[in-house]
Amino acid sequence: MPPVEAEPEPSAQTGPPPKETPGREFAPVRVEEDRIIRTVVGLRPFRPSGFVVRAETQGRKTVIHHYGHGGGGVSLSWGTAHLAVELAEAHPAASHAVIGCGAVGLATARLLQRRGSQVTIYAKDLPPQTTSNIAGAQWQPFTVSDRAHRTPAYEALQERAARLSHRYFQDLTGHHYGVRWIENYSCTEAPEESYRADPIADLYPDGAAYTPGGHPFPTPHARRFSTLFIETPVYLAAVLRDFLQFGGRIVVREFASQEEWQALEEPVVVNCTGLGARALCGDEELTPIKGQLIVLLPQPEVDYITLAGALYMFPRTDGILLGGTMERGEWSLEVNEEARARVLEGHRAFFAGMKAG
């Protein structure tokens, strides 16, 4: 789920805006109540100062903490996993335990396997029941931290993680992993300029800005850029299969405290518990940001993403995702009906206002 506050939307820098239309047809989304197939809710594990990747000694164990990615968990997963495995390499071991089986845990487990380790994942939930399965998830590592709380050192670390992760995901493009490139159209009332300061703007290629009348969307301005898009149901199932095919082991269990990790046979434990780290590690900075998605019947002809203020639309093979909520500090997994109605009506009005063709 992409951000709706604090961060500018990403894109590559662009040249002069073209005067012609984008040169393609856009099928509008059919936003109708009777096309809704489900509404899903997830809690982003957010820390104002950013994600945690650090090592510590606990009794006989080395513990690598790796959690707190906010709305960028899928996007950053391979990059921060790379950072976590670098820390693990300072404590050589033939076997590792990974706690958690979402996008972050799976990426960590696979990178450890690539380095020759025997890896066991311990998790209470497996795909498709993980929080990561609910994510949008276009490659957009934002809503990961608050600008006022992060340090220059952290900003450099996040940029490195983003660049690493982007490169890993490029190697996974194709139907098997459900990763593909897709055009985004950021639709605004005024021309956007803030994206030019984005340090990873170069990771969003094919940029172009369209002036009023030069695009089909119901806002004066639109900006195009391309992102990697990860269909999480396909992607997580594929990475989990890889993990098992390369000799990985899964144990379904829940941990009440970090002390229980001492009984595990693996000498190095990587903590990828997401929001669960608040209770397990006493990390009071970790807080949920609730998001929910309306899922409409699939429309294969819709082959673009729209971002319009707080609203966003992602087309997946299993349905059209409509989003636009961000409730900080909200722990409930119940559907917010008021927000659901607002998001549905906002998208209905947006797509009803699109020009034909």
For residue 251, what are the β-bridge partners? 122
Sort 153 into a burial class: Cβ within 10 Å, 0-12 / 13-18 / 19+.
Answer: exposed
**Residue 7 banded pLDDT, cuts 50, 70, 90:** very low
> Other CB atoms closer than 10 Å to residue 39's CB: what's the count?
17
Residue listed under structure tokens 């898009």 = 229
**230-278 residue pLDDT tens:** 999 999 999 999 999 999 999 999 999 999 999 999 999 999 999 999 9
Helix pair 232-245, 103-114: axis angle to 10 deg: 30
Q: What's the CA dihedral at 105, 110, 116, 120 to 10 degrees?
A: 40
Lowest mean pLDDT among 64-78, 188-202, 337-351: 188-202
At 356, the pLDDT band (50, 70, 90 cuts) reads confident
Evaluate if residue 18 carries a pLDDT over 80: no
Measured CA distances, 97 to 59, 121, 280 (Å) = 15, 6, 16
pLDDT of 9 strictly over 70: no
Q: Which two tokens stand for residue 324?
A: 């636009």
Residues 6+ apart with CB under 8 A from 192: 8, 9, 11, 186, 209, 221, 223
Give 289's DSSP letter. Answer: E
For residue 305, give the 3-state DSSP assignment: strand
Number of residues that this document lists for the chain: 357
* Gap between the Cα atoms of 8 and 166, Å rounded: 18
CB proximity list for 2: less than 8 A, separation 6 or greater: 9, 71, 136, 138, 140, 142, 143, 307, 312, 323
Encode pLDDT of 47-71 as tens digits: 999 999 999 999 999 999 999 999 9
Chain CA centroid to CA 104, Å: 10
In terms of phi and psi (left: phi > 0; alpha: psi -120 to 50; beta: otherwise), the region of 85 is: alpha
Percent of the chain surpassing pLDDT 90: 88
- Which of 274, 217, 228 lies closest to 70, judged by CA? 274
